[in-house]
Amino acid sequence: MNIIGKVCVIGAGRWGKNHIRTLYELGELGGVVDSNTKALNEIKEIYPTIPLFSNVSEAIKLKKFTGYIISTPANTHHDIAIEVMQYGNHVLVEKPVALTINEVKNLKYFANNANVNLMAGHVLLFHPAIRKIKEMISNNIIGDLQYIYSNRLNLGTVRKEENVFWSLAPHDISIFQYFTESKPLKITSTGGVFLQKNIHDTTLTILEYKQNIKGHIFVSWLHPFKEHRLVVMGSKGMISFEDSNDSKPLKFYSKGYKINDKIPEKNDGPVEIIEYENLEPLKEELKYFIDHLDGKPLSLANADNAIEVVEILTNASESLNKGVIIE
């Protein structure tokens, strides 16, 4: 069997196919695992030279792969990741990394003991526009960070094993953590259940951070049109990013309010289009994963980041289900 790449993809579903395509373009696709024969046949038609496996153990036995990407349903992530890591392999696990805090902490424990990297599939941390916004925050372009909001809406894929918040909001939570570099002090979440019992289809979550920074995340897979909008407000300016717009504009607004003799005065300045690199986030994420297959510690999307995100998901879910504020 001719193994070309170092990375094996587990799961050839909708998002798994994107991993497969991108790794192939990078020359790092080594194999694909899926228990679905039809899915494997589809992959074989497109990539006839890539080795295919019907289960994870078959791929591991070859001892040819250094890294694995797990792109299977979220409720399978923990057990598959353990199986992969116990043989000394680095792993990138799609979001959410696990469905409980205990599971994701256990994954970190296993990764540390096996001396391997556990990376979370927080792909938007590798989006050049998000990196640019972080740079602008760090360089005090917008002044003191005050408020962040993110809308992630679509008539999209409805999950059975997780609600819409667990399915979509990990992207936004990872961005909020990246920008604030802190954990929320309070979380309040509300939403609606319409399609399946006890599975929320739309949620609005409010996060309160130290230094009076506020944020909200609105996610829904029951929306008439696609909208991925991120707004960041500061004391000296505001930023908006429209990821669902074809041109994906990143804008800086030199506007807001300043206090003059205790009275808010509007400062209505110009709007500037901010240029950023035209790079594919998934490709950048996978290049980062591949670059760390030698065991270098991860500074982005690492196990600690994964734990933070799952903790926030869990606390928001408790607020959502009990109707209480989580502190």
- Give 104-126 pLDDT, tens digit per residue: 999 999 999 999 999 999 999 99
- Write down the residue that tokens 């709007």 correspond to: 271
Helix (H, G, I), strand (E, B) or coil at 30: strand
CATH superfamily of this structure's domain 125-279+312-322:
Dihydrodipicolinate Reductase; domain 2 (3.30.360.10)
CATH of domain 7-122+282-301: 3.40.50.720
Report d(CA 112, CA 126) in Å as an integer: 24
User: Comparing 18-22, 206-210, 217-221, 266-270, which segment has the lowest mean pLDDT?
Assistant: 266-270
What pLDDT does 2 receive? 55
Q: For the chain, what percentages of helix, strand and coil (3-state, to nearest 5) are there?
A: 35, 30, 35
Q: What is the pLDDT of residues 58-79, one digit of tens each?
A: 999 988 999 999 999 999 999 9
- Write down the residue that tokens 């059975």 correspond to: 160
Closest CA to 13 of 76, 107, 62: 76
Q: What is the pLDDT of residues 274-302, one digit of tens each?
A: 999 999 999 999 999 999 999 999 999 99
Asked if residue 112 lies in contact with residue 295, where contact means CB atoms within 8 angstroms, the answer is: no
Q: Examine the pLDDT at 4 and tell me if it is beyond 80.
A: no
What pLDDT does 263 receive? 82
Report d(CA 40, CA 47) in Å as an integer: 10
What are the residue boundaries of the structural domains of the chain, listed by start? Answer: 7-122+282-301, 125-279+312-322
Report d(CA 76, CA 54) in Å as an integer: 15
What pLDDT does 1 receive? 54
Q: What is the pLDDT of residues 181-211, one digit of tens each?
A: 999 999 999 999 999 999 999 999 999 999 9
Asked if residue 190 lies in contact with residue 219, where contact means CB atoms within 8 angstroms, the answer is: no
